[in-house]
């Protein structure tokens, strides 16, 4: 499915994931974590991977000039 709107959506999603990854990495975000203080490396890595996956999805869905 090729659509620039979808690609932009994935791009925005990637940005959100990057911000969430940074917040977990810095220890600012403590939602759904086993401890309530300090950085959460696993969560940060997960959201970084989700950001990369979203960027790949954006690249797959964008329309290309023939």
Partner 1 sequence: MTLAQALFMGLLQGATELFPVSSLGHSVIIPSLLHWKFKQSDPTFVPFLVLLHLGTAGALLVLYRVQWIAITRGFFTAAVRGRITTGPERLAMLLLTGTIPAGILGVFFETRIKSLFASPYVAAGFLVVNGVLLLGFEQLRRRAERRAALESKPRAEQEQSFSEAERISFVAAALIGACQALAFFPGISRSGVTIGGGLLAGLRHQEAARFSFLLATPVILAAGLVEVPQLFASGVPVVEYLVAAALSGGAAYASARFLLRYFRSGRLDPYGWYCAAAGLLSLGLLALNL
Residues 6+ apart with CB under 8 A from 53: none
Q: In the set 32, 36, 37, 66, which binds partner 1 (CB under 8 A)?
A: 32
Q: Does 37 help bind partner 1 (rule: CB under 8 A)? A: no
- Whether the CB-CB separation of 56 and 14 falls below 8 Å is answered with no
- Whether the CB-CB separation of 58 and 36 falls below 8 Å is answered with no
Give Rg (Cα) of the chain. Answer: 15
Of residues 1 through 30, those in contact with partner 1 by CB under 8 A are: none
Task: Tell the smallest beta-carbon distance from residue 40 to partner 1 (Å).
Answer: 9
Q: Where do contacts with partner 1 occur on this chain (CB under 8 A)?
A: 32, 34, 41-43, 45-46, 49-50, 53, 55-56, 59-60, 62, 64
């Amino acid at each position: 499915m090729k659509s620039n709107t979808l690609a932009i959506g994935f791009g925005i999603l990637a940005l959100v994931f990057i911000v969430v990854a940074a917040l977990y990495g810095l220890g600012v975000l403590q939602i759904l974590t086993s401890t309530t203080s300090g950085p959460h490396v696993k969560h940060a890595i997960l959201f970084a991977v989700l950001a990369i996956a979203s960027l790949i999805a954006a690249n797959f869905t964008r329309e290309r000039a023939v």
